[in-house]
Amino acid sequence: MSAAAPPTTALAGSAEARLPREQTWEKRRSLPIRKYLALLVPGSVLALIVLLTLLAPLIAPYEPNAIDMKNALSGPTREHWLGTDQLGRDQFTRLLYGGRTTLMLSFMAMLTISLIGAAVGITIGYFAGKIDLFVSAILTMLLSLPSLLLTLAILGILGPSISSLFVALIGAGWVGHARIIRSSVLSLREQLYIEAAVSIGSSTRRVLFRHLLPNLLTTIIILATLDIGALVLTITSLSFLGLGVQPPTPDWGTMLNDARPYFSAVPLLVIVPGVTIAVLVLCGNLLGDAIRDLADIGHQPR
């Protein structure tokens, strides 16, 4: 028979056995902290931009369409912090009001797209059958077209305006949401808790709103967050081409288009709205990625 290990050796062995597990738990504790920081930074920047645009009537020193030809194409001064455009309009004021137009339009479109996509995706995914085959064929056909091309087609029919742009964004955006949510519903309806709820006689409404929808909220939120940057970029691009927000309503895309001929004289007219658009789109994408990573961590087994 082998002699029993000394108490000190046994304690050391048990400590060494616990060490990898303790290190694993430490990594799991520290990982969400980094993920929360990745969520906090872009979320704070995005919230600051939204807050400034909402407070535009209180912060902006001038009216957005106030013309002052004497100060046209001037650089930054005490009166005009970011200079003026070709009509003498204050660039800082138009930047705030332009962001208000762009962000309000993008957030309204995002909410509408999310609602329509969720409603269609849940309906065809849960009930399946002939409805699923018919609607899925339409979704596949629409997804074969580039979203920008579909948006341009709708704008070509309705004509350039804010309301037409809103309809075009929704018409091109809900398709992808519905397809992804349909796939999630097809997976969830095979879970045991859904089958158990159906087997005990739960109503369809209870199954949809009590069991399916709460498990789809994370997917819906991630898709909506990732849409912020894409919608802002689409709105400003179409406004730059003259198909979106129409002058004299301030918008970042129209500001870029108006400043294009004067880039060599006053480059700040192009740089400021361009950098603002880039920062906003970047923060929206980073925020969506951070929310998705946190959701993945929450679903990891421990």
pLDDT tens sequence across 273-301: 999 999 999 998 888 888 887 776 554 44
Is residue 288 a part of any domain in this protein? yes
Of 103, 98, 104, nearest to 255 by C-alpha is 98
Is residue 3 a part of any domain in this protein? no
Range 150-155 contact pairs with CB under 8 angstroms and sequence separation of 24 or more? 151/234, 151/238, 152/238, 152/243, 155/238, 155/243
Distance CA 120, CA 134 (A): 12
Tell me the CATH number at 164: 1.10.3720.10
Of 149, 147, 214, 155, nearest to 179 by C-alpha is 147
Which residues partner with 84 through β-bridges?
A: 90
pLDDT band for position 94 (50/70/90)?
A: very high
Residues 6+ apart with CB under 8 A from 243: 152, 155, 160, 165
Which residues partner with 90 through β-bridges?
A: 84
CA 171 centroid distance within chain: 17
Structural contact between residues 169 and 233, judged by C-beta atoms closer than 8 angstroms? no
Is residue 35 a part of any domain in this protein? no
Q: What angle do CA 23, 28, 32 make, to 5 degrees?
A: 145
More confident residue, 128 or 182: 182
Tokens read off for 66: 């106030």
Is residue 63 a part of any domain in this protein? no
The percentage of the chain sitting over the pLDDT mark of 70, rounded to a whole number, equals 86
Mean of the pLDDT values across residues 23-48? 69
Residues 6+ apart with CB under 8 A from 25: none
Is residue 83 a part of any domain in this protein? no
Tokens read off for 217: 């909220």
Mean of the pLDDT values across residues 83-102? 89
Residues 6+ apart with CB under 8 A from 247: 254, 258
Is residue 182 a part of any domain in this protein? yes
Domain count, the chain: 1
Distance CA 81, CA 76 (A): 5
Distance CA 289, CA 232 (A): 17
User: Which pLDDT belongs to residue 35?
Assistant: 64
Distance CA 150, CA 221 (A): 24
Longest CA span, the chain:
103
User: Which pLDDT belongs to residue 2?
Assistant: 43
276 C-beta neighbours (distance < 10 Å), count: 19
Domain that holds residue 264: 92-298
Residue found by looking up tokens 């849409």 in the block: 227
Which DSSP helix (H) or strand (E) runs through 151? helix 147-158
Is residue 64 a part of any domain in this protein? no
Q: What tens digit of pLDDT does each residue of 11-26 get?
A: 344 343 343 444 444 4
Tokens read off for 48: 């600051």
Mean pLDDT estimate for the chain: 81
Is residue 5 a part of any domain in this protein? no
SS3 84: strand
